[in-house]
Structure formats: C-alpha cells, structure tokens
Amino acid sequence: MSTIGESESEAEVGNSHPVRIKEDSKTLEDLLSYVYPDRQPRVYKALDAFLDVLKAASKYQMAVVVDTLTEQVTSSRLNGNIICQPLMYKDPLRIFATAKHLSIEKLTVIAREATLTVDIHTTPRSTEANTMLAAWLWELEDTRRERWKWLKDRCTPSPYINPLYSACRYAYAYVRRTAREPSNPPFSQATCPLHDSEVTHAKLLKRIKDFPCPKTIREIDFKWELECSLCGEAATTFFKRICEDYEAEFGGF
C-alpha cells in the first residue's frame, strides 16, 4: 500500500528491485545505436568492442542486430581512399568460436571459411577460442582437408592444361600458337624460354595447401613468383577461374 501523499506509481518504483545487467554502459550504448533511428550505428575497427555488442545482441535475442553485425564483420570497409579487408580477418578463429558459442549459424559458416586464411594451431588463442570444443576443431580440420582436395584435383597436370605445374612450361607456346593455330590445344608441349622451376611450383602449391582458399590464391603475385610475365599471366588467368569456381561451390564473402 502507498503512504499518504505517495502516488501508486512511486510506491511501485520504491518497492521494485533493480535489474542488474552484465554489459557496461558503452556496450549498451553501441547496441542501442542499432535500434534507435536517430542514432548512427557504430562501425567497428577492433574485435573486442564488436564481440561485446554481438554477444549482447544474441543474449537479448535481437536477431536484426545480429544480422547487421554479421554483415558488418564480413564486409570490406572504406577508410579514406583505402579499402580495408573485412574485420573477420583480424582473428577468424575467434569469430568462429564466438559464433559457435552463440549458435549464430550464418556467421559460423562464413567464419569457418575464413579460418582457412590462418594457421589455427599457431594463432594466438583468445578466451573464446580456448573454450572451443574438440569437435569444433575437427570441423575446421575437416574443412581444410576437403578444400585442399578440391583445389589439388584442379592443380593436377593433364595433357593440355597444367595450371601451375605447367604454366611455366606452356605459357610461351600458348601465346604463340593460339594466335597462329587456334584449333590446336591451348597448351602444346613446349618449354618456356625464360625458365622452368619445379621448386617454385612446389613452394606455391605448398602455400595453397596450407591456406586452401581464394584469398590465399588472389594474394599471390604469379608474375613475380614465377619470374616471368608470360607464365605469371597464364597462372593468374587460370587461378582466377579456379577461385570463381571455388566460390560458386562453397560460397564467398
């Protein structure tokens, strides 16, 4: 009952218990910036603050905010005139572990692919990664093996198209013969006049095996690695198609 001169609402407030929440004021402020239309949602440059808000959005079942944050962490951003890679790549293993803990399926799938860009055994372990289940690590290992097998099958020499093994051997013949005899197979058995380096081939394939994904391949400067503009151009063209096929098969972001 309220006392004389005290309104019912005041009595209710006075008798109520405070609701304690774990999140700090900054996390809540950032979280609400995605809800209120008069506020500008925060764009994150560091994972710690991003993950705090993601966890809060998941905790309070704010599905739209979770989707928005997922889009942000997996998208490139513009910093002045420079296009920065997605925040995901700062620590994909941490993102994967967090998404698994929070049961965010879409982010889990994307982060699993992004872990292919790092060595999951030597990456500094975060709190989230340290609490991963063994089954989750096996999932990452299985994905790595499957992706490498897919890529290796396309890097295996064939009679007419040897993507990396034979780029050096056949690029020169390709350039000459396609202009003169287009009906012939694109690569004929000839040797690049500049060089023929199996060691270089093996090193590049090892790099792709260790990090079997389009991001790794696209970061390879084949002209510089193969020390030949013709060979490099042939390899770049071939692997561009490989990357496109990969993303059609497994998705990309």
Predicted local distance difference test score (pLDDT) of residue 147: 96
> What is the torsion angle, in degrees rounded to the nearest 10, for the CA atoms of residue 242, residue 243, residue 244 and residue 247?
120
pLDDT band at 16 (very low <50, low <70, confident <90, very high): low
**pLDDT tier, 158 (very low <50, low <70, confident <90, very high otherwise):** low
In CATH, the architecture of 10-132 is 2-Layer Sandwich (3.30)
The pTM (predicted TM-score) of the whole model is: 0.77
CA distance 239 to 169: 16
Mean pLDDT of the 168-176 span = 49
> What value does the mean pLDDT of the chain take?
80
**How much is the pLDDT for 157?**
54
Radius of gyration, CA atoms only, the chain:
26
Domain ranges of the chain: 10-132, 152-250
Which residue, 158, 233, 163, 157, is CA-closest to 194? 233
Residue whose pair of structure tokens reads 């396609």 in the numeric block: 178
Greatest mean pLDDT among 118-127, 149-158, 213-222: 213-222
> Residue 8's pLDDT is what?
44
Whether the pLDDT of residue 239 is over 70: the answer is: yes
